[in-house]
Structure 1
Amino acid sequence: MPNRRFADGEVVMGRWPGSVLYYEVQVTSYDDVSHLYTVKYKDGTELALKESDIRSQSAFKHRKSQSSSSSPSRRSSSRSRSRSPGRPAKGRRRSSSQSREQKDDKKKTISETNLVLLKPSENNTRRYNGEPDSTERNDKSCVIAEQKLKPDLEITRVLEQYSLRPRKEEKKKEEIYSEKKIFETKKVIEKASSKAIEKASSKTKELEFGGRIGTFTLIFFLPATVLYLLLMCKQDDPSLMNFPPPLPALQSLWEARVFGVCLLWFFLQALFYLLPIGKVVEGLPLSNGRKLQYRINGFYAFVLTAAVIGTLLYFQFELHYLYDHFLQFAVSAAAFSMVLSVYLYIRSLKVPEEELAPGGNSGYFVYDFFTGHELNPRIGSFDLKYFCELRPGLIGW
């Protein structure tokens, strides 16, 4: 690897790309891969230059001193030789030197106007021709002539050769692009790992509520507890010590009219749930990335229910019917819940494995039946779990 000649912060003379002009610049950094120096001009412009385009200030001062140290005698002798008869005429030699100077000026003009095309204008009245502010010279006629003389391919070649785009912007773009790539890669890895974990742990291993025996007991114990408390409250002296309470006749526990009222209440709340009022929100993402939508209108359903009850009272509907048949309502609600649970478990046997509940996929019938086998049982947009969890029960209370 070649060693660098110029250190960071060193003030040197840098050649402006596409010209023979050197200006005072300061070295800011060096790229070991491309072997380019990043230099900064006095006007703030930063460019990447090769080492061959950079000279030390001492070399420029030495060259200037040599050019100014030519002796007067040598000048006079050259002047005397030009006047000798053997030499060509003075006017002819001057005309040839003038034509050579015109060619040099033309080349210099072309190189300067080329830099005008490379550097974008800062405003409509001022153009930047590549020189520092102290020596800036610009002519619109030169720009127009250069546009006719130099094709766009030459501009592209200089751009690619000297990388005139700002180095800081390129570095920022590269950093943003690399950060975005890293973020996307992490996201893909996390998504793949989460899917692998979900597939590996699709079966429920930790059982709650006492496992199979506990859930089997709860299926019958919970409704029996409700009936026991209702029978205790019907006594003249309700107490837990008065056990067992007097058991009613079996035919008195069931009444078709009461069961019809339960169904009417359930479907009335379902109708309020399906009304297109209230905002719709998205739930948490599922294992397949899909998000379900839920309509938030429970408050409106409560207000409509209160309006219905108020209407019944206005028409003198006897609400004490609910109190008189409270035991039959409890039995009807338990029977309806059991039928609905059996339906949900049967339909869960046909859904894909990714739609099963993580906590209700143990493989044991009783446990999965009690905890719920399907994660989000729906009939169209009607979410049964979301509806039954709060609407019929709490609004009824």
Structure 2
Amino acid sequence: MSASSDTRPPVTHPTPAASAPSVGYQGEPGAFSELALRRWFGGSARAVPLPDFETVLARVRSGEVDFAILPVENTLAGSVAAACDAFLRAEVDVAGEVVEPIRHQLLALPGTPPSALRRVSSHPVALDQCRAFLARHPHMRVVTGSDTAGAARAVAEGGDPAAAAIASEGAGERYGLEVIARDIHDRPDNQTRFWVLRSWGAPMAAPQPGVSHSMLVFETRNEPGALARVLRELAEAGLNLKALTARPAEEPWHYRFIAEVEGDLTSGRGAVAIASATPHMVRSRVVGPWTVRGPGGADGVAAPHADAAGCRRAIDAVDRALVRLLAQRRDLATRTQSLRTGGGDLLRDPAREAEVLRHAAAEARAVGLPEESVRQLFWRVIETCHPAVSEAPPVT
């Protein structure tokens, strides 16, 4: 069987949208997909909430909405399988990519004490990002829902003081809920990648600055090393593989692969790589190139906030993350002590402490911070996180 490519309309040049675009997303107002939508399109876009990924893609394919936004991968939970499967079944293109920081809050009716909560609901992917918090609160029964904002709305409408939801702070504000526990996700760098989608041949929004990515969607021949040969062609062309997702194909025990790379697969060395890989594939489709926009900026670096209040909120978020990291460091130090001493006396390790201070000074030098100040700060960190200090009773 010879390799074949999916038929598609000619690629059109990007043109600015004539008016504010309509953008479909899965979930209800206040969902993280809506936040990602606003980050990419700004406040002028008309957000269209839809019940599921299939409907989202059907609407953009038919032209009922100009664009769609789809969550495809999270730094904690991994690939969003249902979204990837819906994309593979749809005839749509990727017009852009946006990375949205995900900050999960435990929301409940105003005035609810944490001890009163007996049930917590959210989207399964969101619940998966908060495993440690949920493990520490086994008295709360976990209930899965269709999306985070929908779970928040259900808590608000239900009026049950024992019910809580995991969603964004914005969803809590929208539905009149109170934050009972803040930033409960397992890691402070929790983020989700969203693809901005358009129908084949539709004009793109105004191009955004940033890194260019492309995608190869393909099935390999049923022969040893076929996948390795395709990936080797991409590597030899100097194309950095950013993500590789495998999803079941129509035939049992066969798979479709989504290979995302930095660069353009439609021209130059990218096109040569695709031509060289074609004998090892039974079908393929090239998508892109598109722009990647990181959290607050095109290169993944947070952009400056527009006002002092926004800067202070960002500082508060960093401070909360620092405290959580200190607690994590304390736990690791305690575990290390136990492994070193067999649970006996708490001993200091001067050589290890000196090594930590050297590394901290080197990191400070690399990012332009004063070495001596950072060295002194890390000495206090070592003191604070040492088990002998951590286990002492609090000062009253």
Q: Do the structures match in fold with TM over 0.5? A: no
Q: What's the TM-score once normalised by structure 2's chain length?
A: 0.16
Q: Which has the higher strand share?
A: 2
- Between structure 1 and structure 2, the one with the greater Rg is 1
Q: What's the TM-score once normalised by structure 1's chain length?
A: 0.16
Q: Which has the higher helix share?
A: 1
